[in-house]
Chain A
């Protein structure tokens, strides 16, 4: 059994854990992130709406409201600092009937109370002028210009890389099975590892209740709330330009239709409470529900252009709010639990808040040589022809296209593998540089990407996994 000691152990390498780790890296604290999967961004953070919410949905005074608005405000600067893709495309909450206007007005007032800037209610015709494909039935909408879209992988991976560059250690394929309170803090037990630390941060997503309940008598209970999504081809990416929500009403919690930051069209999520924290399977019924409900908001969505569907689990805590802060009966144990929507938006703000709490408790000072800048991936597709030609001249590997659909070159794939916290699986490469994320869904590029991964990591082809250990692509050698 390997034994390691840290000042702080963050459990969970999702967006929340990585945001907290990155903020902790400002301090003179020996920090590690322990993650059950082979990579960061492998749970709820990888399967969500990829929306930066404006902040009008949460109840005024709630932690969700506070961190949402703050996280939204921070996202622009963070995207520049950490070089990930983010755009304020604005969001619209559609109101389909005159009798629902009071509810729309209430949503507006909530937004104002939460401190959401620039909110306004616009008429149905104004909506249709902005979004010609929106339903003719729309009578009004709440327009939030600060709403945005982000690459959830890009955000999480950027936070993790920057944390790592500033000294945070990441331990993968390690699931915490038990936590013991000791005199000088906590002992975290995994199958082949014992981690010791005076301070622990619980950012374990749908398992945050299980982790919390290992040390606290004030029990949490998280219900995985399952949501299915359909992702459409880039050909459909301009069908709407804003994020289109439905006013929660008779139809239940609505289905959104939004462009993604990469130019696809995304529809979903459904919402179904389940017990199994691993049940990320889509179902025919929910996929059908997406088609049906999305069509209420937006006309003529070309569902024949669906390229993939997926499912994510939101970590819904019984108290219906984020649970953030030091556990009452477990000093030094900090929760960031119940982080469901708007968790992705809130992550940067939660990161600052929790890291400051931990640092204060530990009496840690700030590092002098901390570097908050991270350089993202070279994106030849975004370059001018001259820049691209110069790049290939200097680095010929950027001249070999591996993924035809997304135009991803060998250079980008090699970068994804060899940089800080580089990819060790096919999904890891996909989430970093979009190889295989296009319309053929990795049909053409899988064999070649496997070869590159095997070469760069000096692995055998048959050891290459789609994601976690056990997800081997091949069943035998030559």
Chain B
């Protein structure tokens, strides 16, 4: 068994930013474990631009954005192991991993940062009826085959789900010569960023059908067609609205799920809303010294926010390793109400918190002209007007430590949306 101060599970954007921040906070002994054959995670296949506007004040492609962080990690000489799969983590912060060179290894860490990212929801999770031929891909799998391996995955395409990867792939496949016939979305609004709808669908004349879903898949060997139907407010197909599309490919962009099987093996409390672990303002899970950041914690819209959040996790993990013990805390629950689906973090220690804590959240529906309000034990302390709020875009409020100065008895903080 080897020992390290901080072990980071995952070498994507979250893991890299956490590692760099932990090193800058003075921790020498860091190890990144990455299951893929290179660092950078999913960014490597995201060859479109639009990354880095917040972090670097310029527009980068995914590989370029990843390269900047890989360079930082290399400049800091942070060790990493590639092609290494973590198969278990226990409460004593012992990590079991395997790879070709080392075989099966056990690593003990003083602190662990979980940065495993997320995975795509498959067809089965939606229980779409029909045949099970070739040509049904989750959008990210198709993206990898096209952008990394360089193959064509289909010629005539229907896309279900208007998540960002689906929108990006609609444009990507069009540019590669495929005909993208339609993008269907179950909800009455898109789950993707507005800019992606404009740049990836509207600019190419690809129709977006809201409140529609796939109700049948045809084709014995390869997909030969699908049937779309409109759905009612209950999201159930409306009989008589069926429309047939011939196609050889169905891409699914129907949601991302934080990949928390390892997190569950530690036995930490999980959020049913985010499917990630519950964390405090240090981004520490209910297991002491185990931190989480990036899409394993909650699915983000922009990688820039992943980097920011992960850097905080790295800094906090470093502080944990150095200090060991914290002073007596005053933990306050953060509650998401009235249109706010969740908050990350879920709790705030107002005695030990940093000067400012960014609370991130998503809303449950599309709202126009609403306020985002913050209440301390029922007393409104801030409100901010937003012209449009959408589930596809992450929102945030910043809570300052000094705002809690007069609240020694504070029990909860509510973040909610409000009309006038």
Contact = CB atoms under 8 A, between A and B. Distances in A.
B134 A385 contact: no
Interface size range on A against B: 35 or more
A28 interface: no
Interface of B: 35, 83, 85, 87, 96, 98-104, 106, 119-120, 122-125, 127, 129-135, 137-138, 140-141, 144-145, 148-155, 215-218, 220-222, 237, 248-249, 261
Nearest to B116: A404
A428 B281 CA distance: 48
8 contacts: A284-B215, A287-B127, A385-B104, A404-B85, A451-B149, A468-B221, A471-B221, A478-B151
A392 B134 contact: no
B120 A476 contact: no
B180 to A, nearest CB: 14
A283 B217 CA distance: 10
- By secondary structure, the B interface counts as mixed
A475 B152 contact: yes
Contacts of B261: 405
Contacts of B153: 473-475
Given A283-B129, A474-B152, A443 B101 contact: no
A441 interface: yes
Interface string A374-414: 00000000000100111011001101110011010000000
B98 A281 contact: no
A188 interface: no
B81 to A, nearest CB: 12
A279 to B, nearest CB: 9
B154 A475 contact: yes
B134 A306 contact: no
Interface in A422-471: 439-444, 446-447, 451, 461-462, 465-471
A393 B103 contact: yes
Contacts of B98: 388, 392, 399, 401
A459 to B, nearest CB: 13
A284 B129 contact: yes
Contact of A281 (B35, B106, B131): B131
A133 interface: no
Contact of A399 (B96, B99, B124, B217): B99
B116 to A, nearest CB: 10
A441 B127 CA distance: 12
A447 to B, nearest CB: 5
A388 B151 CA distance: 35
B107 to A, nearest CB: 13
A478 B152 CA distance: 7
Interface stretch (A240-248, A307-315, A345-353): A307-315
Nearest to B178: A475
Contact of B138 (A307, A396, A443, A475): A443
A404 B131 CA distance: 25
B148 A447 contact: yes
B244 to A, nearest CB: 14
Given A441-B124, A471-B134, A472-B222, A477 B151 contact: yes
A475 B124 contact: no
